[in-house]
Chains A and B, each alone.
Chain A
Amino acid sequence: MAITRDDVLHVAALARLDLTEDEIARLELQLNDILEAVGKVSELDLSDVPPTSHPLDVVNVFRADEPRPSLPLDDVFANAPERDGDFFRVPPTGETAA
């Protein structure tokens, strides 16, 4: 299951990484090496084995759905690169939007 340059570009677009040419070339090689190593999991026939997504045998945890104070807005925006009143300000999402 070799990874091609096109795969790298496709995955980078999904992951929203604007990779440089250098990075694309390097990742193509490294991801192929790593995927060859981790592809080892496919050697096992596990059709009867259930998946584990969580290491503990715990059930859902519920609490009463009661309103509580949330963070003050000034705290919420304290680390934001750009604030506009009660909003995070971002550049427009134009035609190039994926």
Chain B
Amino acid sequence: MIDTLRLTAEEAIGMLERNEVSGAELRAAYRAAIDAHDEELHCFLTLVDDDENDGVPIALKDVISTKGVQTTAGSKILEGYDPVFDSTVAARCKSAGLQLLGKTNTDEFAMGSSTENSAFGPTKNPWDPTRVPGGSGGGSAAAVSAGLTPWALGSDTGGSIKQPSSLCGNVGLRPTYGTVSRYGVVAFASSLDQVGPVTKTVRDNALLYGIISGRDECDSTTVDVPPVELPDGEDLRGLRIGIPKELNEADGIEPGVRDAVRLAIELCNELGAEVGECELPRAVEYGLACYYLVAPAEASSNLARYDGVRYALREGADDYYEMVSRTRDAGFGDEPKRRIMLGTYALSAGYYEAYYGQAQKVRTVIAREFATAFERFDVLVSPTSPTVAFKLGERTENPLAMYLADVLTIPPNMAGLPGLSIPCGLSEGLPVGLQLIGAQFSENTLFRTGHALERAIGFDTVPERLR
């Protein structure tokens, strides 16, 4: 009997190696879990019935192109789009023998923090189905948490791996920009987008990061990555951990979240780390504004390709330009339209310098503040999300309230820094995530820190109602 709620990918690899289970049996176990729970949770947009591989199963966020398997990015405009090539990350998962279970739900074009912007309906949080799983990668996070896949890939622009991992109680890594190929990944904001693993444990996370990371000749922004070290230490001796005041005292952080994070910080001390305070005054105060200029500007450019000519949806019209405009109005949902409009405005003549140009300078300021903090510290710590999972529908009418969900994940993203979210406790019966931020290319340090904390915290990643 395979307990998909508890089986880690590492354990599954061991069972396969020892011939205690076959790839087909593993697949059948996860399919049974999907059949039992996905009608309620709606983690998957497309299920794959069979796969040539027989390794550990995996689920991929539906912004990741998979040859011959529909890839919608959560949008009507891409409904029925079957990529004719694999993204590099999908190809690397295949080469590693992983078998694809299916494609997971996402806010449309990965724009959102609750998965409610998916054109195909929201995903529910396995801890409480009246609440959101976070977003945009809510499908991947909820699927891992509910035992519908041992692990999954997400993509993170402003927090779309870290924040849902926080809300669903699993481990999510947003890697350093440039360590994981974006080739074949539906583009949202190209200077920020990064694919990363969503898992039950930090060790699983390191394993999957090892599979997908590294230079790719199809993505000229990728670089050589230091060899991944599977963490096994139990202490944090010699590590300097910084507590950025602004990231830990921001408005809107719930008391229960603050308490759980404070306990985790005390554990850092007990595990032998040297803990101190630091400041990121402008990174946090101006991070969100900076992001909501840079990301929509890049999105407005990236989403120009959906023109009704080369793939997917076309609305009929007698004139070419009318066809394009009608197709885009019919195919895009409210959030992509909002961001396209915002980005187009910020880039338009007369406003470029005041908005986009200024935001790019703020980005420099943010990167410099983090660089100063990393002169004194190896890892910075904060809550991942200011709140636990919120109710479905609570923020859908107020875009600015939704944007605030990422106020703590955005600042490090603007600087291209890696961030690992691990569960650090419960508040009101819902998971709280701890964000560990490292300097560029310090994934191994984050894994080491996350692993030692994970052991010390002893968080049970299985949602209480499913135990």
Contacts and interface: CB of A to CB of B under 8 A. Distances in A.
B52 interface: no
Contact of A79 (B217, B312, B328, B329): B312
B372 interface: no
B178 A58 contact: yes
Given A17-B329, A56-B440, A90 B361 contact: no
A40 B289 contact: yes
Given A46-B362, A56-B416, A12 B341 contact: yes
Interface residues of B, number: 72
Interface string A8-26: 1001101111111001000
A7 B310 contact: no
Contact of B289 (A3, A14, A39, A63): A39
Given A38-B293, A41-B359, A63-B217, A92 B177 contact: no
Contacts of A34: 292, 338, 342, 399-400
Given A15-B300, A31-B345, A63-B217, A52 B289 contact: no
What's the dominant secondary structure at chain A's contact region?
loop
A9 B130 CA distance: 38
Interface in A20-48: 20, 23, 27, 30-31, 33-35, 37-42, 44, 46
B311 interface: yes
Interface residues of A, number: 56
A50 B211 CA distance: 36
B390 interface: no
Interface in B360-406: 360-365, 367, 399-400
Interface stretch (B80-88, B101-109, B445-453): B80-88
Nearest to B332: A17
B317 A91 contact: yes
B358 A46 contact: yes
Contacts, number: 186
A32 B217 CA distance: 42
Contact of A11 (B85, B312, B345): B345
A86 to B, nearest CB: 14
A98 interface: yes
Interface string B321-336: 1111110110010100
A81 interface: yes
Given A16-B324, A61-B220, A91-B319, A81 B365 contact: no
B416 A50 contact: no
Nearest to A95: B319
B400 A44 contact: no
A82 B312 CA distance: 10
Given A14-B348, A91-B320, A52 B355 contact: no
A-B interface, 8 closest residue pairs, ranked by CB to CB distance from nearest = A55-B416, A51-B360, A81-B314, A79-B311, A18-B325, A75-B84, A46-B361, A52-B363
